[in-house]
């Protein structure tokens, strides 16, 4: 698909790091403020979709490929399963709290909620980006 | 008894979804009707757990001094957690249904549900 | 789709909407009362009150909704992650099959 004019390209290139940073902030503070892994992953996927709309599919496929998104999706799922199985190895039952509880209100508190939310955030962002890329690649193969 | 706005809007959304499913003759428009209906159900579920003059169930620095005040004034957290799960499952179902619509259009040439059962091959 | 059929559908949906609004506003407990349950004849607050009391000293997280999603109902969230993974695989498989048809 073709890109847009010069003004749209410049503004979306400037705004992309800030939207990405906001999505990462929502993921990392999931156990202190409202939000968590699921809305944060959707924000990151929406930032990459903004780049696809502004620059065109060919230019974006040079930086990230279909295979890279698939690998990230699988790594997020395996991170969740690893944190769950650590409860079996070091404790008594599945999904037991392994990491220390800490002081209320800091980032490294609350047991294994932070690592679970990081895994879910990567997985949701890669999953929604995969759905968008699959539909766009089908459309490109159809019109040839 | 009073009529509250949350319940009225949730029931109106469900009725609008039912009307769209009855009248329209296009697969993608019927899918939009289903999504509107699911949003009405989510609004109804969250409104069930409200407490009169309630506060957010997050233990921030304003209520950090007294735990009994927080416990007696906070809103029910259980329907919010279940609706969070349901929203993500709604995304997955809509994506899969849209890809099946693409497959149907490629195979039959039309998106009309009354014409699809006539072309048998 | 004739005019008569569209008017009939509108009348049916209007009857359904009025029935729903009446039965939700006037036969359920009023908007703003905490949900209750009844155990052995004694009426008390539902299980959300128990989660609010115990969630902060059992896990050190400030957000009670996070504790309910991953702590008390962790298996449901694990199942939802599986549904997300399966849906993405399903979309890729169907669209790849369509591309190979031509």
For B3-33, what is each residue's pLDDT tens digit? Answer: 899 999 999 999 999 999 999 999 999 999 9
Flag whether A137 is in a domain.
yes
Q: What does the pLDDT average to over C28-55?
A: 87
- A55-82 burial, b if ≥16 CB within 10 A, otherwise e? bebeebeeeeeeeebbebbeebbebbee
The answer to whether B100 contacts chain C (CB < 8 Å) is yes
Residue C102 pLDDT more than 60? no
Flag whether B18 is in a domain.
yes
- Where in the sequence is the domain holding B70, given as residue range(s)? 5-116
User: What count of other Cβ atoms lies within 10 Å of the Cβ of residue C35?
Assistant: 17
Q: What integer pLDDT is reported at residue C98 of this predicted model?
A: 67
Flag whether A55 is in a domain.
yes
Flag whether A81 is in a domain.
yes
Q: What is the pTM of this model?
A: 0.90
Q: What integer pLDDT is reported at residue A16 of this predicted model?
A: 96
Q: Is the dihedral of CA B13, B17, B23, B28 positive or negative?
A: positive
Judged by CB atoms closer than 8 Å, whether chains meet at A101 and C98 is answered as: no
Flag whether B47 is in a domain.
yes
Flag whether B121 is in a domain.
no
Q: Comparing C-alpha atoms, which of C33, C70, C29 is closest to residue C49?
A: C33
Flag whether B86 is in a domain.
yes
Say if residues C65 and A113 touch (Cβ distance below 8 Å). Answer: no
Residue C21 pLDDT more than 90? yes
Q: How many Å apart are CA C21 and CA B120, to the nearest integer?
A: 43
- Where in the sequence is the domain holding A134, given as residue range(s)? 6-142
Q: In this structure, what CATH number is given to the domain that contains residue B41?
A: 1.10.287.3510
Q: How confident is the model at residue C33 (pLDDT cuts 50, 70, 90)?
A: confident
The alpha carbon of residue A5 is apart from the nearest alpha carbon of chain C, in Å, by 31
Flag whether A1 is in a domain.
no
The answer to whether B56 contacts chain C (CB < 8 Å) is no
Question: Using a CB-CB distance cutoff of 8 angstroms, which residues of chain B are in contact with residue C20?
Answer: 11, 14-15
Among C56, C58, C60, which would you mutate to test the A interface (most chain A Cβ atoms within 10 Å of its Cβ)? C60
Exposed (0-12), middle (13-18) or buried (19+): which is C81, by Cβ within 10 Å?
A: buried
Judged by CB atoms closer than 8 Å, whether chains meet at A110 and C74 is answered as: no
Number of domains in chain B: 1
Q: C39 - beta bridge partners?
A: C42
Residue C101 pLDDT more than 80? no
Residue A100 pLDDT more than 60? yes
Number of domains in chain A: 1
Q: Which residue numbers of B have CB closer than 8 Å to A's CBs?
A: 56, 58-59, 61, 84, 87-88, 91, 95, 99, 102
Residue A18 pLDDT more than 90? yes
Chains touching chain C, criterion 3+ CB pairs below 8 Å: A, B
């Amino acid at each position: 698909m073709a890109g847009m004019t010069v003004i749209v390209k410049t503004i979306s290139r400037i705004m992309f790091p800030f939207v990405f940073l906001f999505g990462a902030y929502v993921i990392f503070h999931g156990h202190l403020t409202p939000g968590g892994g699921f809305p944060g992953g959707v924000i990151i996927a929406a930032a990459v979709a903004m780049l696809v709309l502004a620059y065109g599919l060919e230019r974006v496929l040079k930086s990230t490929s279909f295979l890279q998104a698939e690998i990230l999706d699988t790594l997020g799922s395996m991170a969740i399963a690893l944190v769950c199985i650590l409860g079996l190895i070091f404790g008594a039952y599945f999904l037991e709290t392994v990491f220390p509880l800490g002081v209320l209100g800091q980032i490294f508190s609350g047991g294994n909620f932070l690592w679970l939310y990081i895994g879910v955030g990567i997985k949701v962002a890669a999953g929604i980006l995969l759905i968008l890329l699959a539909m766009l690649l089908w459309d490109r193969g159809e019109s040839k | 008894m009073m009529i509250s706005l949350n319940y009225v809007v949730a029931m109106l959304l469900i009725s609008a979804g039912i009307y769209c499913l009855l009248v329209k003759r296009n697969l993608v428009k019927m899918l939009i009707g289903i999504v509107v209906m699911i949003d009405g159900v989510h609004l109804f579920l969250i409104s069930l757990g409200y407490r009169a003059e309630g506060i957010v169930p997050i233990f921030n620095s304003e209520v950090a001094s007294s735990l009994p005040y927080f416990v007696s004034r906070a809103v029910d957290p259980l329907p919010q957690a279940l609706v969070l799960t349901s929203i993500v499952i709604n995304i997955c179902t809509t994506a899969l249904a849209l890809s099946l619509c693409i497959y149907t259009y490629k195979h039959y040439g039309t998106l009309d549900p009354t014409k699809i059962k006539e072309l048998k091959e | 789709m004739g005019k008569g059929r569209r008017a009939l559908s509108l009348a049916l949906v209007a009857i359904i909407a009025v029935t729903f609004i009446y039965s939700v506003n006037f036969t359920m407990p009023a908007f703003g009362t905490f949900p209750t349950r009844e155990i052995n004849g004694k009426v008390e607050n539902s299980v959300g009150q128990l989660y609010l009391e115990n969630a902060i000293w059992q896990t050190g997280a400030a957000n009670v909704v996070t504790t309910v999603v991953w702590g008390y109902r962790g298996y449901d969230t694990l199942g939802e992650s599986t549904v997300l993974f399966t849906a993405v695989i399903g979309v890729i498989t169907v669209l790849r099959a369509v591309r190979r048809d031509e």
